[in-house]
Amino acid sequence: MSETFEPRNIIVTGGCGFIGSNFVHHVVREHPGVHVTVLDKLTYAGNPENIAGLPEDRVELVVGDVCDAELLDRIVPGHDAIVHYAAESHNDNSIADPEPFVQTNVVGTYRLLEACRKYDVRYHHVSTDEVYGDLALDDPARFTEETPYRPSSPYSSTKASSDMLVRAWARTYGLRATISNCSNNYGPYQHVEKFIPRQITNVIDGVRPKLYGDGRNVRDWIHTEDHSSAVWAVLTRGRIGETYLIGADGERDNITVLRAILRLMGRPEDDFDWVRDRPGHDRRYAIDSSKLRRELGWAPRHTDFEGGLEATIAWYHEHEPWWRPAKEATEAKYAAQGQ
């Protein structure tokens, strides 16, 4: 096991988004000596409410773009690590308009790598299992760190590109970098465009949930809190230049997840609409996280998926003022796409 890195002053990009804000809460709660500077552009997916109420002496928000090299020159010096979550993150949006994905996910990562090189700052890159493409439903295999890259969508190809930049900067310039590739997250603060919050808020609104294709596509669900603890483990104890896959053995097909939501919300299990499939829709993701568990001793704590889903449903019931402003426009966009 490598030496423990003890960051004191970190930048979290995308810290007003879903997973980034959950990570900021995690750091504030679990690591009292650490100050967090959140760098976030506040796109449609970023909401400062996600980190409101955290102690001001622990968390500072800088509103800005990761592609802005001058801004990075101003804020990066003095920090000892960057944890890079900021991204355009939604596959359906990337199919409708790939441009912001190339800009933020590829160019933004490049700018951060250059800033880390210039100021000798450690870098952790938050990526996705989608870089590995998909698996067949009947394939016993799961993704490992050795699986070849084979991204399918504009979103996943820009994430794969950004991973490649990180690997090159680590090898060529000796940048102190690590990468993690995680499976599908669920939990509080997830935008209503994503599968689980979209269906929960549809049911709250009395609208039938929407299932793509044949509903048999499999995602490997992990609670976002477990993703946060894994990223912290890799940042502080991971080996420089290495990739770690993060997953919690949560494979389920979409129709099973949807039926669980309907059941937990007191609706009949067939009370949903079949809608147009996503072009190029990946069939199945599955993560083998044994390297992370073996090397860093990490294990997920939220292993009861239905319990986690129930808590997430309760969170959306209790936080309607948080999601309501985004709901109408999100559904209008889906309706225009036949979804």
Contact present, 147 and 128 (Cβ < 8 Å): no
Contact present, 234 and 124 (Cβ < 8 Å): yes
Q: Is 130 in the site for ligand DAU (CB under 6 A)?
A: yes
| CB closer to ligand DAU, 119 vs 149 | 149
| CB closer to ligand NAD, 88 vs 331 | 88
Q: Given the residues 65, 88, 129, 288, select the one marked as catalytic.
A: 129
> Of 40-48, 164-172, 228-236, 308-316, which part binds ligand NAD (CB under 6 A)?
40-48
Tell how strand 218-220 and strand 251-253 pair up: antiparallel
Query: Which residues make beta-bridge pairs with 246?
Result: 182
| CB closer to ligand NAD, 271 vs 301 | 301
- Sequence letter at residue 271: D
130 is catalytic: yes
Angstrom distance (rounded) from CA 113 to CA 124: 10
Contact present, 89 and 145 (Cβ < 8 Å): no
Contact present, 273 and 211 (Cβ < 8 Å): yes
Kind and range of the H or E run holding 207? none
| CB closer to ligand NAD, 127 vs 236 | 127
In the complex, which residue's CB is closest to ligand NAD?
17
Task: Tell me 50's DSSP state.
Answer: G
Q: Is 40 in the site for ligand DAU (CB under 6 A)?
A: no
Q: Is 128 in the site for ligand NAD (CB under 6 A)?
A: yes
> Could you tell me which residues come within 8 angstroms of residue 318 by beta carbon, excluding any fewer than 6 positions away?
none
Angstrom distance (rounded) from CA 143 to CA 159: 16
Which residue, chain included where needed, has tokens 């889906």? 334
Q: Is 179 in the site for ligand NAD (CB under 6 A)?
A: no
Contact present, 67 and 107 (Cβ < 8 Å): yes
Q: Is 195 in the site for ligand DAU (CB under 6 A)?
A: yes
Considering only 22, 93, 229, 254, the residue that binds ligand DAU (CB under 6 A) is 254
Provide the mask over 226-245, with x wherever binding to ligand DAU is found by CB under 6 A and - wherever it is not: --------------------
Residue 198, contacted partner among ligand NAD, ligand DAU, none, CB below 5-8 A by kind? ligand DAU
Residue 254, contacted partner among ligand DAU, ligand NAD, none, CB below 5-8 A by kind? ligand DAU
Q: Is 128 in the site for ligand DAU (CB under 6 A)?
A: yes
155 is catalytic: yes
Report the sign of the C-alpha dihedral through residues 36, 64, 106, 72, in that order: negative
Angstrom distance (rounded) from CA 127 to CA 248: 16
Enumerate the active-site residues. Answer: 129-130, 155
> Interface residues with ligand DAU (CB under 6 A)?
89-91, 128-130, 183-184, 194-195, 198, 210-212, 217, 219, 254, 278, 285
> Interface residues with ligand NAD (CB under 6 A)?
13-14, 16-20, 39-43, 45-46, 65-67, 85-89, 104, 108, 126, 128, 159, 182, 184-185, 191
